[in-house]
């Protein structure tokens, strides 16, 4: 990589850390670079210490780095907190501090003296950062104009001028100190978060109904769909609680449309009876579970992968379900569409495991490969049905599914154990057959599950095994470790339940990489494949896995 | 022509012989015949309890879901398939207890459905514990010393929150109950009928205790006066009124009306998959060159 620069913008909540970060992310992305950006913030509206982390590169690098080349500190407290992340050769952009590798830009003073309001300090800082990065000023001011598009021309002009002031102030001190230049390249990318990709994928898959109760980090999904509901023809409803949300989605699905809900661990806990209901009534439904550190309220704005075993086991009783965990937004877009297809084909709940990191981070996507997304419906045709039985016992376990009002056939669903027509039964022989029918669907489902991604496996002596959103970090760790002369491979799962038919080759040592404390996936691998695990790299401080962390823990424990 | 026989279900009835639930079932069939609704035009939604088993005894579409959760299921059905006649059948425990939160919020939504609550003032299926409407002081199979907390006032609650049609019927007066059901099903919006249904197995009052106290609201009763209706709806004890307590002249907006007016009018089941072009256009908004200023501004500082 010729260009690979990591920036940390830090300040208190309310100081505009996110605005600066996002404006710069768009500017760099618009200039044709790969941008990866994530945030780390406290669960409060004002104060505290928040950071926006951005990695700009000329080849795709959708994973975070913890060490920074540039630190923009908006206040003293965050300067102290994030300074240790700055590399020795890195550049600090600060209001007051002076020094050899410091670019001093008095954001607040410039804002008040020249533009009359402290409010413009973050725009001044954005200008300064653009100068240090060697971005073109015009590229930045164009994005600023677009960001403030709805506002008065005075607001737009003042912000542009403030950015220019920060830019020229920093430019002067940059001479001979800052090594970066980011001239415009003729490339366009998508810059999207996991939440946006999940919402877009659901829309593309023909989802017509979403009910959800707000909970970080999944609120963005229903928000985006609600914003475009008229055009997309998707009915959106904020439910009174998560129990209502999942029951509404089940009602909509029974009524004949694709339906979903989205939540985090706490809300998912409330949904578990509903998941069991979907299993029993054989109603397809998609649930996005955006994980965050738990138990209970935990760390609302941070990340973790600790709800895996919960998702795989959620809901009382035995019934088939699907659990997917996408690697990144491109994968999330396709995975949720697959979840809709398979949930419908097998008439069962599908859970898409996301996490705060995937949900909120901005990733660069070159191509969504829309042509590979193939929504399919699996409703029965009414003409061939006489004596319709919603729960007809079949070899595959899949019964013909109609919706009420589709024809004269009556569609009867029951959460009690039922006969083929959907009526309550206490016939215990029939009960046994119904259990077996439902579980038979798991066999067909297992054949549909994609095997894990294998990378540099051939000569590997050690293999890092992970799942979900850590994929790019693990991949990068694997490459770097190979560069250092190790023989390392990767096996990465994004379809977790039922586990795919797959054989781990004998020979290499297997190491688990997970963002939780007890290596939950390891337990699944051991019981399903009898896989012996040599060591585990776990992370549960609320921050995402990155390749530096993985390499450090793997090599030095 | 629709006839009573069209609703004849083959499922074995599990209610206690002689239970006034049979009166409610009869009144419901009468009402559907009177309205000439075919079984495939009707969708019954219920939770769990003795009352909630009714859909098995009336041939039509049904979704018999979880204890307490009929309303959210039915609300969704009513917006996905507005052409169906969606009717919720539930009990006082199911609707006012386990499903209490949904009961409240359904008033705010005003979906186009009929809500029929078999109010037997007890938990029948779980064998005689107190329900949210059991009178204070009544001794039950669990509240041995008598119920010490006060009963919920579901009708007054509904009126307070502008549920646009609020009525009470009596399972022992099938003629009157049929009339109420006809009016409720015809009503455009949320129509709620609480039905006094003495439980002859666990109930603390006999059928005649109720019969002696129940009366019909007089001809000159005005159901449009909200606060008078609330007061009337709390009358209980020596005299128990039945009839339409509250009916709004100008009901609030129907749930889903905005969507039908601005996005799609009919049953959502008629919609095909979105075109690739439409999705490509949406994705295009996330292309960095053209992006609009609308990233993940949500999810900040929220618990
Ligand atoms: C989550 C849950 N909790 C408890 C129950 C047990 N349960 C079934 S029905 C019922 C009460 C039913 O009372 P009501 O709604 O008044 O109906 P009735 O049987 O009196 O007609 C209870 C507590 C259940 N099925 N599910
Ligand atoms: S328990 Fe009571 S309410 Fe239930 S069927 Fe028997 S008599 Fe009727």
| Domain definitions of chain A by residue range | 4-174, 192-372, 379-448, 453-556
* CB proximity list for B175: less than 8 A, separation 6 or greater: none
pLDDT (average), residues A33-49: 88
Set of chain B residues whose Cβ sits within 8 Å of the Cβ of A263: none
Q: Which helix (H) or strand (E) holds A526?
A: helix A520-529
Looking at domain A192-372, what is its CATH homologous superfamily? Thiamin diphosphate (ThDP)-binding fold, Pyr/PP domains (3.40.50.970)
**Dist. CA A212–CA A288, nearest whole Å:** 10
Cβ pair A409:B40 closer than 8 A? yes
Q: Following CA atoms B14, B19, B25, B28 in sequence, which dihedral angle do they give, to the nearest 10 degrees?
A: -160
CB contact under 8 A, A216 and B303: yes
- pLDDT for res A1: 63
Query: What is the Å distance from ligand 2's center to B138 Cα?
Result: 18
The answer to whether the beta carbons of residues A236 and A210 sit under 8 Å apart is yes
Confidence band for B293, pLDDT divided at 50, 70 and 90: very low
pLDDT at B1: 84
Q: How confident is the model at residue B291 (pLDDT cuts 50, 70, 90)?
A: very low
- The end-to-end CA distance of chain A, in Å, is 29
Strand order of the sheet with strand B85-91?
Answer: A412-414, B61-64, B42-46, B85-91, B114-119, B191-196, B165-170, B240-247, B214-216
DSSP output for B208-225? HHHHHHEEEPPTT--TT-
CATH of A453-556, one of 2.60.40.10, 3.40.50.620, 3.40.50.920, 2.60.120.620: 3.40.50.920
Based on the number of CB atoms within 10 Å of its own CB, is A548 exposed (0-12), middle (13-18) or buried (19 or more)? middle
pLDDT category, B303, cuts 50, 70, 90?
Answer: very low
User: Best of B133, B202, B204, B207 to mutate for ligand 2, by most ligand atoms within 8 A of CB?
Assistant: B202
Full-model pTM = 0.96
- pLDDT at position A187 is 86
Decide which of B298 and A470 is more confident.
A470
Residue B297 confidence (pLDDT): 36
| ipTM for the assembly | 0.96
> How far is it, in rounded angstroms, from Cα A277 to Cα A473?
37
Give the closest residue (by CA) to ligand 2 atom 8: B19
Q: Which of B174, B13, B2 lies closest to B85 in space, CA to CA?
A: B2
Cα A427 to ligand 2 centroid, rounded to whole Å: 22
B-chain residues near A204 (CB < 8 A): 274, 279
Helix (H, G, I), strand (E, B) or coil at B191: strand
- Token output for B28: 């419901």
Residue pair B49/B124 in contact (Cβ under 8 Å)? The answer is yes
The H or E element containing residue B81 is none
The β-bridge relationship of strands A190-193 and A362-365 is antiparallel
* Cα–Cα distances in angstroms (integers) from residue A207 to residues A262, A283, B234, in the given order: 13, 14, 44
> Percent of chain B having pLDDT more than 90?
93
Classify B89 as helix, strand or coil.
strand
- Distance between CA A236 and CA A252 in Å, rounded? 11
Q: Which residue has the tokens 């960095």?
A: B288
Judge whether residue B298 has pLDDT over 50. Answer: no
**Model confidence over A295-333: pLDDT tens digits?**
999 999 999 999 999 999 999 999 999 999 999 999 999
Q: Work out the mean pLDDT of chain A and round it to a whole number.
A: 95
Judging by beta carbons within 10 Å of its beta carbon (0-12, 13-18, 19+), is residue A38 exposed, middle or buried?
A: buried
> How many CA atoms within 13 Å lie on the side-chain side of A210?
34
**Chain A contact set for B254 (CB, 8 A):** none
For residue A36, list its beta bridge partners. A55
Measured distance between the N- and C-terminal CA atoms of chain B, rounded to whole angstroms: 56
- Check pocket membership of B19 for ligand 2, CB cut-off 6 A: yes
CA pair distance A441, B121, nearest whole angstrom: 42
- Tell me the per-residue pLDDT of B118-171, one tens digit each, with 9 for 90 and over: 999 999 999 999 999 999 999 999 999 999 999 999 999 999 999 999 999 999
Q: How does pLDDT run across A449-500, given as a tens digit for each residue?
A: 999 999 999 999 999 999 999 999 999 999 999 999 999 999 999 999 999 9
Residue with CA closest to ligand 2 atom 3? B199
d(CA B289, CA B168): 62
Select from 3.40.50.450, 3.10.105.10, 3.40.50.300, 3.40.920.10 the CATH code of A4-174. Answer: 3.40.920.10
Asked if the domains A192-372 and A453-556 are classified in one and the same CATH topology, the answer is yes
Distance from C-alpha of A389 to C-alpha of A421, rounded to nearest angstrom: 5
Burial A120-144 (b: 16+ CB within 10 A, else e): bbbbbbbbbbbbbbbbbbebbbbbb
């Amino acid at each position: 990589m010729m260009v690979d620069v990591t920036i940390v913008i830090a300040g208190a909540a309310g100081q505009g850390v996110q605005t600066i970060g996002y404006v710069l992310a768009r500017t760099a992305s618009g200039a044709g670079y790969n941008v990866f950006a994530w945030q780390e913030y406290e669960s409060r509206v004002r104060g505290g210490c928040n950071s926006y982390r951005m990695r700009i590169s000329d080849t795709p690098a959708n994973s975070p780095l913890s060490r920074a080349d540039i630190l923009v500190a908006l206040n003293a407290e965050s300067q102290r907190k994030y300074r240790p992340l700055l590399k020795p050769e890195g550049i600090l952009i600060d209001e007051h501090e002076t020094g050899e590798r410091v670019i001093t830009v008095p954001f607040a003073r410039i804002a008040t003296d020249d533009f009359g309001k402290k409010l413009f300090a973050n725009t001044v800082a954005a200008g300064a950062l653009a100068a240090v990065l060697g971005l073109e000023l015009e590229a930045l001011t164009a994005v600023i104009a677009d960001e403030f598009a709805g506002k008065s021309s005075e607001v737009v002009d003042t912000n542009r001028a403030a950015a220019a002031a920060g830019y020229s102030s920093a430019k002067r001190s940059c001479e001979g100190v800052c090594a970066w230049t980011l001239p415009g390249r003729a490339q366009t990318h998508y810059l999207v978060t996991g939440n946006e990709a999940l919402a877009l994928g659901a829309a593309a898959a023909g989802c017509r109904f979403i009910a959800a109760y707000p909970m970080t980090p999944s609120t963005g999904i229903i928000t985006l769909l609600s914003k475009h509901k008229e055009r997309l023809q998707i009915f959106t409803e904020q439910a009174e609680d998560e129990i209502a949300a999942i029951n509404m989605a089940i009602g909509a699905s029974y009524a004949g449309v694709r339906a979903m809900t989205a939540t985090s661990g706490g809300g998912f806990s409330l949904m578990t009876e509903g998941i069991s209901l979907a299993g029993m009534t054989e109603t397809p439904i998609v649930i996005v579970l955006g994980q965050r550190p738990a138990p209970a309220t935990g760390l609302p704005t941070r990340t973790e992968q600790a709800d895996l075993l919960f998702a795989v086991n959620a809901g009382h009783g035995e019934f088939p379900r699907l659990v997917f965990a996408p690697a990144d937004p491109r994968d999330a877009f396709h995975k949720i569409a697959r979840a809709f297809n398979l949930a419908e084909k097998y008439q069962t709940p599908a859970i898409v495991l996301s996490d705060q990191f995937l949900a909120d981070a901005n990733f660069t996507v070159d191509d969504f490969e829309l042509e590979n997304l193939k929504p399919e419906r699996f409703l029965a045709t009414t003409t061939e049905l006489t004596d319709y039985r919603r729960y007809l016992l079949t070899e595959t376990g899949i019964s013909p599914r109609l919706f009420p009002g589709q024809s004269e056939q009556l569609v009867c669903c029951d959460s009690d154990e039922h006969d083929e027509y959907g009526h309550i039964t206490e016939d215990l022989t029939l009960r046994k057959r119904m259990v077996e029918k439902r579980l038979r669907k798991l066999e067909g489902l297992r054949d549909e599950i994609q095997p894990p991604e294998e990378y540099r496996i051939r000569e590997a002596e050690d293999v890092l095994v992970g799942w979900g959103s850590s994929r790019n970090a693990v991949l990068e760790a694997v490459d770097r470790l190979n560069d250092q002369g190790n023989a390392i491979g990767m096996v990465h799962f994004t379809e977790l339940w039922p586990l795919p038919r797959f054989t781990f080759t004998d020979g290499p040592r297997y190491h688990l990489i997970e963002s939780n404390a007890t290596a939950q996936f390891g337990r699944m691998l051991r019981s399903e494949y009898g896989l012996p695990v040599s060591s585990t790299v776990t992370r549960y401080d609320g921050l995402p896995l990155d390749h530096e962390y993985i390499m450090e823990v793997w090599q030095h424990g | 022509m629709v006839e009573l026989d069209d609703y004849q279900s083959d499922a074995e009835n599990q209610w206690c012989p002689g239970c006034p639930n049979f009166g409610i079932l009869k009144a419901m069939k009468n009402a559907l015949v009177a309205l000439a609704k075919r079984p495939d035009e009707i969708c019954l939604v219920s939770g769990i309890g003795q009352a909630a088993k009714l859909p098995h005894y009336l041939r039509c579409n049904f979704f018999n879901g979880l204890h307490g959760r009929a309303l959210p299921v039915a609300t969704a059905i009513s917006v996905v398939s507005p052409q169906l006649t969606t009717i919720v059948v539930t009990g006082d425990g199911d609707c006012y207890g386990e499903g209490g939160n949904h009961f409240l919020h359904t008033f705010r939504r005003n979906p186009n459905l009929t809500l029929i609550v078999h109010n037997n003032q007890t938990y029948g299926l779980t064998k005689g514990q107190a329900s949210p409407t059991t009178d204070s002081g009544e001794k039950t199979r669990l509240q041995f010393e008598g119920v010490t907390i006060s009963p919920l006032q579901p009708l007054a609650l509904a009126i307070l929150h502008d549920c646009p049609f609020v009525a009470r019927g009596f399972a022992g007066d099938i003629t009157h109950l049929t009339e109420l059901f006809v009016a409720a099903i015809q009503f455009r919006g949320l129509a709620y009928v609480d039905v006094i249904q003495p439980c002859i197995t666990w109930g603390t009052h006999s059928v005649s205790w109720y019969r002696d106290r129940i009366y019909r609201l007089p001809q000159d009763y005005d159901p449009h006066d909200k606060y008078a209706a609330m007061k009337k709806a709390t009358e209980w004890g020596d005299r128990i009124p039945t009839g339409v307590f509250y009916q709004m002249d100008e009901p609030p907006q129907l749930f889903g009306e905005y969507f039908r007016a601005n996005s799609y009018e009919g049953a959502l089941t008629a919609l095909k998959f979105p075109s690739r072009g439409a999705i490509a256009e949406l994705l295009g908004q996330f292309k960095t060159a053209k992006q609009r200023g609308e990233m993940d501004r949500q999810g900040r500082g929220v618990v």
